[in-house]
A = this chain, B = another copy of it.
Amino acid sequence: MPVAKPSLESLVRKLQLHSSLTADQRDALLALPFVQRPLEARAQLFRGLDPAGHCCVLLDGYAARSKLLPDGRRQFVDVLMRGDLIGIERSLFRRGDTGVEMLTRGAAAMVAAADLEAVLAAHPGLARALWSETLFQGAIQREWTVNVGRRSGLSRMAHLLCELGVRHDQQGIAHREKFNLPLTQEQLADCTGLTPVHVNRMLRLLDDYGVVLRNHRQVTISDWTRLAKLAGFEDGYLKPEGFTAVSCQAC
């Protein structure tokens, strides 16, 4: 696996999807001290309710935010990929409410809360950009609620694939129609609120329809339009089009 020279470039890219950063702000962010930590699959990035003295940026690999039920069942509430900022609620504000664990091996940049705090104090515009990022996370979260709440099994799978496709595309990780999907069917089940068996059947059905091919862990969407239709996918919630540029009179 070719490891890029570790940097927070991917976080900058993500923030710039919705917030315009000045050169100063970008440089300050890139100058943040961090420790790169290699991570095995199943490694816990954050656990339970504990607060933490750091947050992290995922540099490589995939992770999931999850909640456990008393009976041991599990629901993923987000899939995290390169550039995603994880655990800011723990480092700046309070303890968290979800666990975060690696789905694959990868690496994360660990950023000390105090360092982040200092940069945000010096650059209020950055704080604004991160708040904006929090709001985008919220939009994704709401769509996940809709997905598991109101869509059929087939649509849920289709919708998840659409969302992950767009997010890969936005982060420059892969093309929307062809990307790596390193999740097991059990993990996909935890994303969609289905059982692993049913995930298998729905993937098979999408394949039979000729809409999505899945070899090993590579997804190839051969008919995006039809997939989006099956999913009821509207990409508006992922897109910042029409956003008001960050304007903070104190910045």
Contact = CB atoms under 8 A, between A and B. Distances in A.
Interface of A: 18, 49, 51, 65, 67, 69-71, 73-75, 77, 88-89, 92-95, 97-98, 117-118, 120-122, 124, 127-128, 130-132, 134-135, 137-139, 141-146, 148-151, 192-193, 232, 236-237, 240-244, 246-250
B150 A73 contact: yes
Contacts of A143: 67, 97
Contacts of A250: 121-122, 124
A192 B149 CA distance: 7
B93 A18 contact: yes
A150 B193 contact: yes
What is the copy number of this chain in the assembly?
A: 2
14 contacts: A18-B93, A49-B236, A51-B243, A69-B151, A74-B150, A93-B132, A93-B243, A95-B243, A97-B237, A98-B139, A131-B131, A134-B135, A141-B145, A148-B148
Contacts of A120: 248
A95 to B, nearest CB: 5
Nearest to A250: B121
Contacts of A88: 135
Nearest to A70: B232
Contact of A236 (B97, B121, B132, B246): B97
A138 B137 contact: yes
A74 B150 CA distance: 7
Contacts of A128: 127
Contacts of A149: 75, 148-149, 192-193
Contacts of A141: 138, 141-142, 145
B146 A77 contact: yes
Contacts of A130: 131
A247 B117 contact: yes
Contacts of A148: 145, 148-149, 193
Nearest to A66: B146
Given A92-B244, A117-B249, A232-B69, A98 B142 contact: yes
